[in-house]
């Protein structure tokens, strides 16, 4: 499901994603049809600009793949965008520890308005 | 102009466990090489077990033959492995159970001059008793989780990320056939390059099994049996092959058991029947042991017979389903005994193992 993020119009919209365990987790960023592997070590990355008043919002989607449990993630927004932290872990999702052939997948959408 | 941040209710979709595409690695049975399918050797390597598991191993077809002795009967056990991923505790496995101990007819072990008339006519004895044990993994770790074995995950992370990105791209582009194909490629990559190599890592474990005086003999009499079975187990594998070797030193402390001490060495080779997890496994193992019986007095002096036994086991382990594993095997034993004629015996082995907690 999506989070709505607002901030300073025209300012940089930054996102950081941190996944653990890093070795078996992958973050994929989707903006429109553009799919890229996203740095998941918690570094702030500019993904766009906070829209000005009246401008159409833009949406950034993160698809998090976890190949080993336990796992946890934290997504934060910064820069011109106010921080909207999204975080959880496998225990919180009721998933027992183990190793997965096909990964657990978490979808988080950020809608910058 | 600053505007306040708003966050609406968010539901994060966790797709874990949904659909057949999701395959959780079984926690039982993937290291077949660590389990020699004969009684208590099964206890030798607890690497991939966590929490409490229940097991039953049985050898059917045991008879009065002198080739049947020691822990050749039914073994029911519960093992507990400390599920701590970050400390010494995960190296320890505890076990408690009951096991039958077979003693052949005395007339098949000793010359008649060493036996009383009653002992000459006595049949085999089956004694059931509690066993408790502990093993310690000395080195090596076959747990494939990234928390315990991160190196191969790290080395293959870029490739894994490329697979995942391609799958997401195909999903976004609404190309379901490509999603399925690339997902299968990724799962195969993970199994061949990360999970299976970890499950084949070398491990060395040592442990001991203590047999307490308990229960009753087959005649209903209280038993005071006791024995110690110490073992050292080494496992190593590559690809679909896994190998295991176990050294046992067995010492009893009660003459009722007839066997005094024994040294037994086992080697086993195991082959996965498929290249995708969880595999069914065929195994072939062999063991050779020197067995020393309790000494007896006879009119002309003392006698302490010994024997040499060779066992071969052909086993088949079904691919575990939902954490439950089962196997079947054929065990051939050949006994060389200078005092008694050589004997052969065939046993049917059954084994089950299931994660309980």
DSSP B111-158: -GGGS-HHHHH---EEEEEEEEEEEEEEE-----STTT-HHHHHHTHH
Are the Cβ atoms of A98 and B17 closer than 8 angstroms?
no
Among A23, A55, A83, the residue to mutate for chain B (most B Cβ within 10 A) = A23
**A65 touches B: beta carbon within 8 Å:** yes
Give the residue carrying structure tokens 């336990």: A70
Question: pLDDT: is B10 or A51 the higher one?
Answer: A51
What is the percent of chain B where pLDDT is above 90?
Answer: 12
Give the model confidence (pLDDT) of B42-71 as tens digits: 333 333 334 455 555 555 555 555 555 555
pTM above 0.90, yes or no: no
**Strand, coil or helix: what is B39?**
helix
Instruction: Give B188's pLDDT tier (boundaries 50, 70, 90).
Output: very high
**Residue B80 pLDDT:** 65
State the count of interchain CB pairs (< 8 A) between A and B: 144
Q: Which of A 92-111 lie inside 8 A of B, CB atoms?
A: 93, 95, 97-108
- A54 and B CB contact within 8 Å: no
Query: Token digits for B138?
Result: 């000395």
Q: Greater confidence, B351 or B218?
A: B351
Alpha-carbon distances of B41 from B186, B258, B261, B316, B325, rounded to whole Å? 36, 21, 17, 16, 16
Q: What is the pLDDT of residue B59?
A: 56
- What is the C-alpha to C-alpha distance for residues B176 and B170, in angstroms, rounded to an integer? 7
In the predicted model, is pLDDT for residue B24 greater than 50? no
B217-252: string of b/e by CB count within 10 Å (b at 16+)?
beeeeebbbbbebebbbbbbbeeeebbbbbbbebeb
| Whether B12 and A88 lie within 8 Å, measured CB to CB | yes
Nearest-5° angle of CA A89, CA A92, CA A96? 85
Instruction: Give the range among A24-28, A51-55, B14-18 with minimum mean pLDDT.
Output: B14-18
What mean pLDDT is reported for chain B?
71
Span A59-86, pLDDT tens digits? 999 999 999 888 999 999 988 778 888 9
ipTM: 0.93
Chain B: nearest CA to A107, how far in angstroms?
6
Digit-coded pLDDT (tens) for B117-173: 998 888 877 777 787 878 788 888 887 888 888 999 999 999 999 999 999 999 999
Contact B183 A6 (CB under 8 A): no
Q: Check A84 against B5: CB less than 8 A apart.
A: yes
């Amino acid at each position: 499901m999506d989070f709505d993020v607002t901030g300073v119009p025209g300012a940089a919209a930054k996102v950081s994603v941190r996944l653990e365990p890093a070795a078996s987790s992958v973050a994929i960023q989707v903006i429109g049809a553009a799919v890229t592997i996203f740095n998941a070590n918690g570094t702030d990355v500019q993904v766009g600009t906070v829209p000005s008043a009246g401008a159409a919002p833009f949406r950034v989607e993160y698809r998090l793949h976890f190949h080993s449990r336990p796992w946890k993630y934290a997504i934060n927004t910064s820069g011109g965008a106010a921080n909207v932290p999204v975080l959880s872990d496998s225990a919180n999702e009721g998933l027992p520890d183990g190793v997965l052939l096909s990964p657990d997948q978490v979808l988080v959408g950020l809608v910058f308005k | 102009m600053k505007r306040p941040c708003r966050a609406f209710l968010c539901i994060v979709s966790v797709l874990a466990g949904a659909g057949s595409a999701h395959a959780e690695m079984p926690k039982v049975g993937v290291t077949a090489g660590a389990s020699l399918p004969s009684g208590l050797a099964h206890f030798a390597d607890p690497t991939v077990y966590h929490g409490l598991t229940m097991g039953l191993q049985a050898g059917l077809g045991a008879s009065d033959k002198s080739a049947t002795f020691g822990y050749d009967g039914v073994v029911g056990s519960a093992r507990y492995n400390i599920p701590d991923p970050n400390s010494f505790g995960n190296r320890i496995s505890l076990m408690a159970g009951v096991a039958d101990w077979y003693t052949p007819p005395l007339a098949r072990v000793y010359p008649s001059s060493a036996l009383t008339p009653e002992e000459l006519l006595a049949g085999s004895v089956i004694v059931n008793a509690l066993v408790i044990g502990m093993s310690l993994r000395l080195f090596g770790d076959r747990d494939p989780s990234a928390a315990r074995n991160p190196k191969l995950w790290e080395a293959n992370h870029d490739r894994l990320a490329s697979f995942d990105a391609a799958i997401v791209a195909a999903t976004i582009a609404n190309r379901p056939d490509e999603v399925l194909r690339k997902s299968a490629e990724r799962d195969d990559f993970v199994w061949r390059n990360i999970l299976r190599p970890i499950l084949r890592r070398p491990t060395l474990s040592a442990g001991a099994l203590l047999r307490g005086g308990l229960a009753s003999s087959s005649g209903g009499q209280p038993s005071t049996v006791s024995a110690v079975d110490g073992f050292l187990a080494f496992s190593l594998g590559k690809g679909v092959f896994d190998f295991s070797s176990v050294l046992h030193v067995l010492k009893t402390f009660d003459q009722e058991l007839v066997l005094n001490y024994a040294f037994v060495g086992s080697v086993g080779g195991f082959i996965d029947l498929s290249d995708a997890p969880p595999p069914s496994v065929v195994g072939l193992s062999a063991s050779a042991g020197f067995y020393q019986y309790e000494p007896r007095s006879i009119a002309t002096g003392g006698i302490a017979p010994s024997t040499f036994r060779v066992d071969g086991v052909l086993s088949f382990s079904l691919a575990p389903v939902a954490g439950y594993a089962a196997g079947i095997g054929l065990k051939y034993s050949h006994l060389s005994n200078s005092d008694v004629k050589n004997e052969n015996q065939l046993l049917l082995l059954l084994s089950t193992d299931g994660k309980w907690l």
